Homo-oligomer: A and B are copies of this chain.
Amino acid sequence: QAAPPDTGAMLDVRPVGYVIGLLLVALGASMGVPMAVDLLDQNGHWSAFFEAGMLTMLSGLCLALACANAVRTRLSLQQTFLLTTGVWLAMPIFAALPFVFGATGSSYTDAFFEAMSGLTTTGSTVLSGLDDLPRGLLLWRGLLQWFGGIGVIVVAMVFLPELRVGGMQIFRSEGFDTMGKVLPRAAQISSQISTIYIGITIACALAYNAAGMGAFDAVVHAMTTVSTGGFANYDASFGAFQGPHEYIATVFMLGAALPFVLYVQLLNGAGQPLVRDSQVRAFLAVAAVLVGVTAGTLVVFGGMPVERAFREGLFNIASILTGTGYASVDYMQWGAFIITLFFFCGLIGGCAGSTSCSVKIFRYQILFAAMKAQIRRIHSPNGIFQARYDGRKVAEDVLSSVMAFFVLFVVTLGVFAVLLAMTGLDFLTAVSGAATAVANIGPGLGPIIGPAGNFAPLNDPAKWLLAAAMLIGRLELVVVYVLFTARFWRV
C-alpha cells in the first residue's frame, strides 16, 4: 500500500467520526429493547430509555452526517487506532444516560462509571439496591456488557493484529490482506462471530433457566456470563444462585475465555484446533491447578465439605481467572492466602481473541518461551536460540510487543494505584482497585470494593480514574497510549 506523502497536515478524523456516528445510532436504537421491557412491565420507567435513545440517535446522526463527505472503506493505521479508542470512549458517554434519567437517578460520574464498566466488561458497579431496580435498567446493564463482549472479540480478531499491538500480530490471518481493510473485515468477522456468540448466549440462558433461574435473570446473566462481564441482577452478585447454577456459569465463563476463532473452526467441522490449541491447554491446566489449590485449602484449613469447597473454588477461580468477576460468596472471609492468590490470579487472564482480559495466557507462554531461550543463550553464548510459540518461532517484533505490553501493564497498574491513593483511598483499595480496573475483572479487595462491597462510596476523581483504567486496560494499553504521542497526529 502506498502511504500518502507527509504533507504536515492533521489526521483526517472524519472517516472515524462517521463510523462512531453510525455506532451511536445503533446504540440509541438498542435502548428500545429495555424501553420495551419497562413498557411491558408498566412500571413507568420507559421514558428514560426513550429520552436517552433519542438523544443518542440524534447525536450519532449529526456526527455521521457531519463526517459523511469523507467516508472511506480503507482506514489508515492512525485512523484505525483512533476509531478503536474513539468507539470505547463515545459509547459510554451516551450509554450512561439511562442511569441519569432513569430510576437510579445517578450523578453523571456514577452513570459514566457504570456504563464504562459495562462496555469494557469490567463489571464493577456503583449501584446498590439492584434487587429492586426496574427490569429495563437491569437489562440495559446486561446489554452493555454483551455489546462490549462482542466488540472486544472483533477488536481482538481484526483491529489488534492489524495494529500490531501487544503481540496480537501473532494472530494475523495468514494470506489475508487486511491492511487498511479493517472495516470490511470487521463486518465479515462480526457476522460470523455473532452467530456463535448469540448461540452460546442462548445456550447459557436455557441452561440457567433449566436449573431454576427465572427467564429474565437467565437472559441477563447469560449475557454477562458470555461476555465475562460479571454484572449481576442482585446485590449478592451470583450469591443468589448457589448450587447447580455455579457449575453452569463455570462452563460458560471458561468457554467465553477461549479463542472464539476456534469456535468458528468447530462450526466448520474442525474440532481438533480447539482440543490441540496450546493456549487452551495451558489455560485449562492453570485453571485446574488453581481450583485444586483453592478447594484443597478450603477443605483442609477451612473445614469446608468437599463438594462445596470444590464448587465454590471452581466458580470463584473461574470467575477471577476469566475476569468475569461474579462472586458467589464473600471470599474476603477465606483468609489471606486465598485473597493474595486471587489478586495475582486476576493478573493472568484468559485466552486471546476471547471476551476475557488482563495479561492473557498466550503472553505468559511467549514470555516464558523467551526466558527459556534466554537461559539457553546464557549456556551457549554463541548459539542462536529463538522463542517458540505453538511450534513456530516467535518473530522479534511479536516478542518485543508482548514484553512492552507486560511492562506497560505493570507500570500502568502502579501509576493508577498511586493516583487512586492520592484521591484518598487506602492502600488495599487503591492497589486492588487499579488492578481490577486495568484487568477488567470487577470486584477489588477489602471491605469497600471487595466482593461484598460496591464502588459507590469512592470519591468522584477515583471513579473517573478507574473508568480511564478500564478503557486503557480493555484496549490493551498501547491503543490508547499511542494517541498521546505528538507523532500520532501528524499524517
Measuring CB to CB, which residues of chain A are less than 8 angstroms from any residue of chain B? Answer: 3, 77-78, 81, 163-165, 336-337, 339-341, 343-344, 347, 367, 370-371, 374-381, 396-397, 399-401, 403-404, 406-408, 410, 414-415, 417-418, 420-422, 424-428, 430-431, 445, 478, 481-482, 485, 487-488
Across the interface, A344 reaches (CB within 8 A) one of B340, B380, B414, B424, namely B414
Residues of B within 8 A of A344 (CB): 414-415, 417-418
Residues from chain B with a CB closer than 8 A to the CB of A488 are 379
With beta carbons under 8 angstroms apart, the residue of B336, B375, B397, B422 that contacts A430 is: B336
**Which residues from B are CB-within-8-Å of A163?**
378
| Copies of this protein, total | 2
Q: Is the CB of A408 within 8 A of B340?
A: no
Cα A487 to Cα B385 in complex, Å, equals 14
Cβ contacts A to B, 7 pairs, < 8 Å: A77-B381, A339-B421, A340-B418, A340-B427, A375-B478, A379-B487, A431-B431
B421 touches A378 (CB 8 A): no
Q: Are B165 and A347 in contact (CB under 8 A)?
A: no
B341→A421 contact, CB < 8 A:
yes
CB-based contact A427/B336 at 8 Å:
yes
A401 near B374 with CB under 8 A, answer: yes
Q: How far is the CA of A431 from the CA of B417 in the complex (A)?
A: 14
B403 touches A427 (CB 8 A): no
In the complex, the answer to whether B418 meets A378 with C-beta atoms within 8 Å is no
List chain B residues, Cβ under 8 A from A378.
Answer: 77, 81, 163-165, 478, 482
Chain B residues with Cβ below 8 Å from A375 are 478, 481-482, 485, 487
Write the chain B residue with the least CB distance to A426. Answer: B336
Pair A418/B482 contact, Cβ less than 8 Å: no
Quick one: given A371-B407, A374-B401, are A422 and B487 in contact (CB under 8 Å)?
no
Q: How far is the CA of A396 from the CA of B395 in the complex (A)?
A: 12
For A482, what are the chain B residues with a Cβ–Cβ distance below 8 Å? 375, 378
Say how far A373's CB is from chain B's closest CB, in angstroms.
8
Given the contacts A378-B482, A379-B77, A431 and B165 also touching, CB distance less than 8 Å: no
Q: Are B77 and A340 in contact (CB under 8 A)?
A: no
Check if B487 sits within 8 Å of A376, measured CB to CB: yes
- C-alpha gap A230/B466 in the complex (Å): 36
Question: Given A336-B424, A381-B77, A381-B164, A374 and B400 touching (CB < 8 A)?
Answer: yes
Q: How distant is the Cα of A164 from the Cα of B379 in the complex, in angstroms?
A: 10
